[in-house]
């Protein structure tokens, strides 16, 4: 059987599935219950400055009948007394010595304040610390949360305060509300962090009630920006995790967060460089029981592929990431419709006709319209295959034999060597030579 155990920056756990620092990891009761179900670790809900939370803290984004594909929250850090949290953290670690217990921290930007809370946290016997530099709501105006993560200099300074006294691993949790996630990650590395956690929630307003004009969630008639999470943020999280994983100046283990709901989601993050994966919204929606599906699914996949440990596959997809200028311009595909599966909904025709490149025809046959691709005009954009509601009905078929290869960067260099400039005429000549459809 595959070995799911990991070591994320010095923090070990029997599997890569951790609870993210959030409502599901708020208490000893919840964390111990999660461990009983099989979770490998937990990041305790952030503790620090005294706060008071509000009512109607969450707003859900539903789409096409699916509930909570996105979740907005204006909940602050733990509103339980800090001594209560420390006591429960110590008790949880005593009861579950083989599980990872990481404590998320957020306090004001004073060196002595950070030193004090770090030392008290270490006394609980926990396995690691996660620094919350990402919360986009309620704390930034106090110089905490994303206010730190958005300024690499602050990130480096505060992480340095922590690492100069910490005797246990320190993970830095980054905010996605930046122009380039790599810079704060480099700052964390420069301050001797043990690893990076990302992403935290995305700054958002999730919706407006069109009858009352009030925002969602509604707190006594008022609303504002909150943190956006859930399946809808997964593509953004995958992108940012890969950016950090590819950056040679960072070179730290990654604990990935953002829209993870299934074992396949988790595997995608691992293939892009993650060591551990953290879940929140999926647990809030379906409960701790999802760990059974996560472990079983990932284990079965690894066994089917002959993969013995996660170390064998971590980052395997990173070499597949490249710049547009290095894509093969001569790679050709066309859409083909399996008429035996077609239900004649005509969505492919509408999408192609109005939203793409007008290369699907409707041909009347026995009282219905048959959709036919004009392959000579098809540019292989794949939109029709994406909107088709029938699995496998429309396939993107490769036309080139793989022998010809020319990237945009190579083409520009060829023009320069031949003394040519990049003009529409020169580009059209190249396209005509290789039978490329121009739209």
Q: 323-379: per-residue pLDDT in tens? A: 999 999 999 999 999 999 999 999 999 999 999 999 999 999 988 889 999 999 999
pLDDT of residue 224: 85
On whether both 310 and 297 belong to a single domain, the answer is: yes
On whether both 76 and 175 belong to a single domain, the answer is: yes
pLDDT of residue 30: 98
Cβ atoms of 31 and 44 within 8 Å: the answer is yes
Given 300, 318, 336, which residue is the final one in a domain?
318
As a whole number of Å, the CA-based R_g of the chain is 25
1 domain-assigned: no
pLDDT of residue 142: 65
pLDDT of residue 121: 98
On whether both 301 and 342 belong to a single domain, the answer is: no
On whether both 289 and 364 belong to a single domain, the answer is: no
Of the residues 8, 32, 37, 135, which is catalytic? Answer: 135
Closest Cα partner for 103 from 92, 258, 111, 112? 92
Measured distance CA(166)–CA(233) in Å, rounded: 32
pLDDT of residue 54: 87
On whether both 270 and 337 belong to a single domain, the answer is: no
Cβ atoms of 278 and 256 within 8 Å: the answer is yes
> Can you list the pairs that 144-149 forms with residues at least 24 positions away whose Cβ atoms lie under 8 Å?
144/48, 144/49, 144/106, 144/107, 144/108, 144/109, 145/106, 145/175, 146/175, 146/177, 146/200, 146/203, 148/109, 149/173, 149/174, 149/175, 149/177, 149/178, 149/184, 149/200
Q: What is the span of the domain harbouring residue 336? A: 322-439
> In the annotation, is 37 catalytic?
no
pLDDT of residue 124: 98
pLDDT of residue 307: 98
pLDDT of residue 135: 80
Could you say which residues of the chain have pLDDT below 70? 138-143, 439
Given 283, 318, 353, which residue is the final one in a domain?
318
On whether both 365 and 250 belong to a single domain, the answer is: no
Q: How many domains does the chain have?
A: 2
The Cβ of residue 360 has, within 10 Å, a number of other Cβ atoms equal to 23
On whether both 305 and 391 belong to a single domain, the answer is: no
Q: Structure pTM?
A: 0.94
pLDDT of residue 148: 84
Cβ burial, residue 322 (10 Å; 0-12/13-18/19+): exposed
Q: Position of tokens 């691709």? A: 373
Q: What angle do helix axes 234-246 and 182-190 make, rounded to 10 degrees? A: 50
């Amino acid at each position: 059987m595959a070995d799911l155990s990991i070591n994320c920056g010095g923090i070990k756990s029997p599997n890569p599935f951790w609870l993210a620092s959030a409502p599901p990891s708020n208490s000893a009761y919840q964390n111990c219950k999660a461990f009983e179900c099989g979770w490998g670790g937990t990041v305790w809900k952030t503790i620090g400055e005294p706060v008071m939370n509000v009512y109607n803290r969450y707003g859900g984004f539903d789409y096409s009948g699916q509930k909570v594909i996105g979740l907005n929250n204006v909940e602050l850090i733990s509103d339980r007394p800090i001594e209560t949290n420390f006591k429960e953290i110590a008790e949880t670690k005593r009861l579950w010595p083989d599980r990872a217990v990481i404590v998320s921290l957020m306090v004001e930007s004073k060196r002595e304040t950070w030193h004090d809370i770090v030392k008290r946290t270490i006394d609980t016997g926990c396995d690691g610390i996660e620094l919350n530099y990402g919360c986009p709501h309620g704390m930034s105006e106090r110089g905490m949360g994303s206010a730190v993560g958005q300024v690499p200099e602050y990130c480096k300074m505060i992480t340095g305060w922590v690492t100069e006294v910490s005797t246990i691993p320190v993970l830095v949790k980054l905010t996605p509300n930046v122009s380039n996630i790599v810079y704060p990650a480099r700052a964390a590395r420069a301050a001797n962090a043990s690893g990076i956690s990302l992403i935290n929630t995305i700054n958002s307003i999730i919706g407006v009630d069109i009858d009352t004009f009030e925002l969602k969630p509604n707190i006594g008639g008022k609303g504002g920006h909150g943190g956006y999470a859930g399946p809808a943020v997964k593509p953004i999280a995958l992108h940012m995790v890969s950016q950090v994983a590819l950056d040679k100046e960072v070179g730290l283990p990654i604990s990935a967060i953002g829209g993870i709901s299934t074992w396949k989601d988790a595997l995608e993050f691992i293939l892009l460089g993650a060591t551990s994966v953290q879940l929140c919204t999926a647990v809030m929606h379906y409960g701790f029981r999802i760990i059974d599906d996560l472990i079983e699914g990932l284990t079965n996949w690894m066994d089917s592929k002959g993969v013995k440990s996660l170390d064998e596959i971590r980052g395997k997809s990173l070499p597949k990431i490249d710049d547009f200028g290095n894509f093969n311009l001569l790679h050709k595909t066309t859409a083909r419709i399996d008429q035996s599966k077609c239900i004649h909904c005509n969505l492919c025709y509408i999408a192609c006709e109005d939203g793409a490149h007008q290369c699907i025809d409707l041909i009347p046959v026995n009282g219905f319209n048959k959709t036919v691709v004009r392959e000579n005009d098809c540019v292989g954009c794949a939109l029709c295959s994406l909107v088709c509601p029938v699995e496998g009905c429309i396939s993107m078929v490769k036309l080139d034999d793989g022998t010809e290869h020319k990237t945009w960067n190579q083409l520009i260099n060829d023009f320069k060597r031949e003394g040519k400039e990049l003009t529409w005429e020169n580009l059209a000549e190249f396209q005509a030579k290789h039978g490329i459809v121009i739209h």
